[in-house]
Structure 1
Amino acid sequence: MTSQSRGIQQLLQAEKRAKDKLEETKKRKNKRLRQAKEEATAEIDQYKLNREADFRHIQTSVMGSQGNLAVKIEEQTVEKVQIYNSSYHKYKEGILKELLDLAYNIKPELHTNYKYKVQ
């Protein structure tokens, strides 16, 4: 009987060691999965940051900054107003003279479509 109980004891010990090894392996696997997940999350975050930086760089190079656009538009508006004012003052007298000449120098004549009927 003692040999039987020794065999059972050895079997129970072997079973316990196998169970311990299995638990240890599961713990290592879970730890490695968590580590891989953290690494993947860090890599994804870094990729997002790089893509956002590239997007912002392209956006500023293509569109310029909003403040810069407002300044450019204001400068162009002021420049155009000055051009229109100088053009107005330059041609004002000549245009008024032409309009007054057209209004005062009326030459009465019959319209080409008018048909004179003799009665």
Structure 2
Amino acid sequence: MTSQSQGIQQLLQAEKRAAERVSEARKRKARRLKQAKEEAQGEIEQYRLEREREFQMQQRTALGTQGNLSSEVEARTRQTLQMVQSSHGKNKEAVLRRLLGLVCNVKAELHPNYRFAGN
């Protein structure tokens, strides 16, 4: 009977060692998963930073281009405004003379469609 209880004790010890090995394997697996997750997070963060840098560069390029366009539009607007003011200054006297001539030199005459309704 002692050999049977000894065999049972050995089986229990073997089962205990197996449970410890399984527990250790689970712990190693959990550590590996945690490490893989941390590495993945690092890669994700690195990729995000890289994409953010690229976006910032593209944004600076686009805004720089817009800045150039807006300065060109402003320059063209100033140039057009100067042309209009110059034209106004040149033609102002002639236009005023013509208007005054039309207003002051009125010829009294009947309209061509007027019909005299007399006896």
> TM-score, normalised on structure 2?
0.72
Q: Measured at CA, do residues 27 and 112 of structure 1 come closer, stay the same or move farther in structure 2, by a change above 3 Å?
A: farther
Q: Which residue of 2 aligns with 1:56?
A: 56
Unaligned runs of 5+ in 2: none
CA distance in 2, matches of 1:29, 1:60: 46
What are the equivalent positions in structure 2 for 1:30-109 lying under 5 Å apart? 30-64=30-64, 68=67, 72=71, 74-109=74-109
Structure 1, residues 65-105: CA drift from partner, whole Å, max 9, x if none? 77x36971654554343333222212222222222222222
CA distance in 1, matches of 2:110, 2:82: 45
> TM-score, normalised on structure 1?
0.72
Q: Measured at CA, do residues 75 and 16 of structure 1 come closer, stay the same or move farther in structure 2, by a change above 3 Å?
A: same
SS at match of 1:64: helix
Amino acid in structure 2 at the alignment position of 1:93:
E
The total of aligned residue pairs comes to 118
CA distance in 2, matches of 1:56, 1:49: 10
Q: Which residue of 2 aligns with 1:118?
A: 118
CA distance in 1, matches of 2:53, 2:110: 76
> How much is the aligned-residue C-alpha RMSD, in angstroms?
2.9
Unaligned runs of 5+ in 1: none
